[in-house]
Amino acid sequence: MRILITNDDGIMAKGIYFLTKELEKYFECIIVAPDKQRSAAGHSITLHRPVVVKLHKLDGINSRAYTVDGTPADCVKVALEKLLEEKIDLIISGINDGFNLGTDVIYSGTVSAAVEGAIYKIPSIAVSIDFHGDDEYYSMAANYARKIVEMTKNKIKEDVVLNVNIPYAKEIKGIKVCNLGNRVYTNAYIEKEVENGTNQRIFQLAGTVKDGDDGDTDVYFIKQDYITITPLHYDLTNFKILMEVEEIIDGGNTDEKDS
Binding residues: 8-9, 39, 96
31 and 18 in contact (C-beta within 8 Å)?
A: no
Q: Which uninterrupted H or E stretch holds 164?
A: strand 161-166
The whole-angstrom separation of Cα 89 and Cα 249 is 43
The whole-angstrom separation of Cα 70 and Cα 235 is 24
The shares of helix, strand and coil residues in the chain, as percent rounded to the nearest 5, are: 30, 25, 40
51 and 32 in contact (C-beta within 8 Å)?
A: no
Q: Annotated binding site for a divalent metal cation: which residue ranges?
A: 8-9, 39, 96
The whole-angstrom separation of Cα 112 and Cα 234 is 9
Residues 6 or more apart whose CB falls under 8 angstroms from that of 100 comprise 108, 110, 111, 126, 128, 163, 165
Phi-psi region of 107 (alpha: psi -120 to 50; beta: other; left: phi over 0): alpha
Residues 6 or more apart whose CB falls under 8 angstroms from that of 250 comprise none
Q: Which 8-state DSSP code applies to residue 98?
A: S
Q: Is beta strand 226-232 parallel, antiparallel or unpaired with respect to 161-166?
A: antiparallel
114 and 161 in contact (C-beta within 8 Å)?
A: yes
